[in-house]
Chain A
Amino acid sequence: MKLLEVENLSTWFHTSKGDLKAVNGVSFDLDYGEALGMVGESGSGKTTCALSIARLLPKEGEVTGGRILLEGVDLASMTEEEIRKRRWKDVSIIFQGAMNALNPVMKVGDQIAEAILLHDKTSREEARRRTAEILEMVEIPAVRAGNYPHEFSGGMKQRTMIAMALACNPKIVIGDEPTTALDVMVQAQILNLLEKIRREYRMGFILITHDLSILGETCDRIAVMYAGKIVEMGTVKDIFEKTAHPYTQKLISCFPNIWGGKTIPEGISGAPTNMLALSPGCSFAPRCDRRRGCCEAEEPRVVQIGEKHFVTCHEASGGGCGV
């Protein structure tokens, strides 16, 4: 059995202007100890996808379809109370912007111990001992547990957030841009740390980011999202070397290549799709330079083009439309 299987997940936001289909039929799976990277532009549904798995959507959001199977148990159909008890033991999140995710008037150690005490019926002493252990794991000396957040540097705060995510030995850790707002040195440190911990404890890891270069470095597989759908998914090699979807190609060409010549990276023309008015066809069609007649009218299907390589594009499904 796979650790996590997401089948045809749809998450809608009920807004005053109508329903916004933030995640629209996404399917993927994740194995023990595997790292999946999710990449895409702002508003493509990466974070919503992660929040749906953790069942932490804001009150306007709703999982309207699909299943989220964690070791065979459907998280999508659980009640709020059932979820509250399982939260953090199954799926934990490393939050974006650790600077604000810590309570300024509470000691760092107490905030980690809080997560342990809320779920395990252990004594305060035991929780404190485990907090010290976890802090050491993320390379923060255990004595610093008595400090307040403002006495920590940015990198230390981010590592504290990682420690907190690991507090209850979760099966899956979701990193929602865990390294944004950190400088490159600290970024590398934190990503190495995460990789080490993931391999040691065979945890599933989902990394959400805008930064393709980070994904290539730390993930086993990559899912590229556009307008609420996974447009291409495959191993790092598949995505970077056998790129199949026009959007992925454009995304990769947006990053300067260290081996390439002195060219200005080309952008992607046009604007992101209006998620409130999705066209019946491929959402990327208006911005795609390889679009054909049927692209705007017919929705492309998911096509398997390699062992683990899937793409959602008319071009890949036999080269013609209507196939």
Chain B
Amino acid sequence: MDYKEFRFRKLKDFLHAVRNNKIALFGSVTLLFFLLVAVFGPIFVPFSTMEFGEVEDMLLPPGGEHLLGTDDMGRDVLANLISGARISLLIGITATAISMIIGCAIGIVSGYFGGRTDQLLMRLTDFFLVIPWLPLMMVLAAVLGTSIWNIIFVIGITSWPGTARVVRAQTLSVKERQFVERTISIGAGSGHIMVHHILPNVFPLVFANTVLVASVAIVSETTLSFLGLGDPNHASWGMMLHYAFECGAASAGAYWYYLPPGICVVAVVLSFTLMGYAFDVILNPKLKGR
């Protein structure tokens, strides 16, 4: 069998496994739906999210011209929801990427070198692990100012410790394998070994972990925005909840204002989590058939 054919079949096997795993299928389809909405949704929405509506358009219930009704400024809720998807997913995924890069780098370096380097990096990790992340995020977001890049940065640097610990543990086991010794003996340096040999071997674990961190990142973003620390120029679902709360939508009975963003956050987080667990089962042969 040709090598490319083999690769292709492996991918097909993986997709087949996803299709047969109901949890993975549900998670992937939901997430795919939200991604498509985030990317292409705004093209189809005739309403602007930036311009305020007329006084008579305020807090209209669903139906008619506005499918999901309007908010307290007369803006279309569906339009806000769709542009919010863009911001929420962008922040969630970028912050996750940052967190993964930091977590992987610290975990691998710490596990590979051991000794004093390990001690230093792991104490740093413990430090980040024990500080209450919500107050830290709030303080950082407040100090750095409200822009989506600051929020991404804040979430990124507070969510890596778990990944770092998992990666370090796996690195400790991989570095004792004989092929690492062999690679040293052919004259490879530490950097080469960490990038070309350790990273690919810890990657499946990182992948499953990424999906779980992504859901945490989205919840964190929603929390920060709900508390009013979000970027007012880029309204995410959290910002919508924040505005809804501020104008008293709940007590006014305007369920169409606060329910949709809430449901969207839950759906996206749930799909990420389900995918995380399902991928772990699919990619980890030890859990197969259980």
Listed in ascending order, the chain A residues whose CB lies under 8 Å from chain B are 54, 56, 84-88, 92-93, 95, 97, 100-107, 114-115, 118-119, 143, 146-147, 151, 164, 167
Contact = CB atoms under 8 A, between A and B. Distances in A.
A143 B4 CA distance: 11
In this complex, the member of A97, A106, A119, A164 whose beta carbon has the largest number of chain B beta carbons within 10 angstroms is A106
Contacts of A119: 187
A100 B186 contact: no
B182 A107 contact: no
9 contacts: A88-B185, A101-B182, A103-B183, A104-B179, A105-B201, A118-B188, A118-B192, A146-B3, A147-B3
Given A106-B196, A106-B197, A114 B188 contact: yes
Contacts of B188: 114, 118
A164 B182 CA distance: 10
Interface residues on B, range: 20 to 34
Given A114-B196, A147-B3, A103 B201 contact: yes
B133 to A, nearest CB: 33
Interface string B1-36: 011101000000000000000000000000000000
B192 A56 contact: no
Given A101-B179, A118-B192, A147-B3, A106 B187 contact: no
Nearest to A83: B187
B251 interface: no
B189 interface: yes
B50 to A, nearest CB: 49
Contacts of A115: 186-187
A106 to B, nearest CB: 7
Interface string B180-209: 011111111100100011001101000000
Interface in B158-194: 177-179, 181-189, 192
A93 B192 CA distance: 20
A106 B179 CA distance: 11
Contacts, number: 64
> 9 closest Cβ contacts across the A-B interface?
A146-B3, A87-B187, A100-B178, A115-B186, A103-B179, A105-B200, A101-B182, A88-B186, A101-B178
Given A143-B3, A164-B182, 8 more contacts: A86-B187, A88-B185, A93-B185, A118-B186, A118-B192, A143-B2, A147-B6, A164-B186
A87 B187 CA distance: 6
Contacts of B189: 84
Contacts of B177: 100
B179 A100 contact: yes
In this complex, the member of B186, B196, B201 whose beta carbon has the largest number of chain A beta carbons within 10 angstroms is B186
Given A105-B200, A106-B196, A118 B179 contact: no
B178 A84 contact: no
In this complex, the member of B4, B6, B178, B189 whose beta carbon has the largest number of chain A beta carbons within 10 angstroms is B178
B226 to A, nearest CB: 42
Contacts of A85: 187
B201 A87 contact: no
A114 B200 CA distance: 15
A80 to B, nearest CB: 11
A100 B177 CA distance: 7
Nearest to A81: B189
Nearest to B10: A148
B201 A54 contact: no
Nearest to B179: A103
